């Protein structure tokens, strides 16, 4: 066996927001990520009428920062709910 340490794969965080469609809410929802050092790797937005569902996948976040981001997203006007998990 070699003396190399095997690194665990990077944890990918997924944030799912249910929010009002339209306006600048998409930009406001994305703006906290670079501030927290998150690497946004995927964004998926689906709209139906006046509702929207936004998925944001990130890397490079410790658990505490992910929790902080979740609370920041919940505080945005127009956001109805935020779920956060990792894979």
Token representation of residue 55: 């998925």
pLDDT at residue number 60:
84
CA 10 to chain centre: 15
Instruction: Report the pLDDT averaged over residues 52-57.
Output: 98
Architecture of domain 13-86: 2-Layer Sandwich (3.30)
pTM for the whole thing?
0.87
Using CA atoms of 24, 27, 32, 37 in order, give the dihedral in degrees to the nearest 10: 180
Query: Is the model's pLDDT at 25 over the cut of 70?
Result: yes
């Amino acid at each position: 066996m070699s003396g190399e340490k095997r690194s665990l794969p990077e944890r990918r965080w997924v944030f799912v927001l249910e929010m009002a469609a339209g306006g600048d809410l998409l930009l406001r929802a994305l703006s906290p990520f670079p501030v927290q050092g998150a690497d946004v790797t995927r964004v998926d937005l689906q709209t139906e009428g006046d509702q929207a569902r936004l998925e944001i996948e990130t890397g490079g976040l410790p658990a505490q920062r992910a929790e902080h981001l979740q609370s920041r997203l919940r505080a945005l006007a127009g956001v109805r709910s935020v779920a956060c998990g990792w894979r």
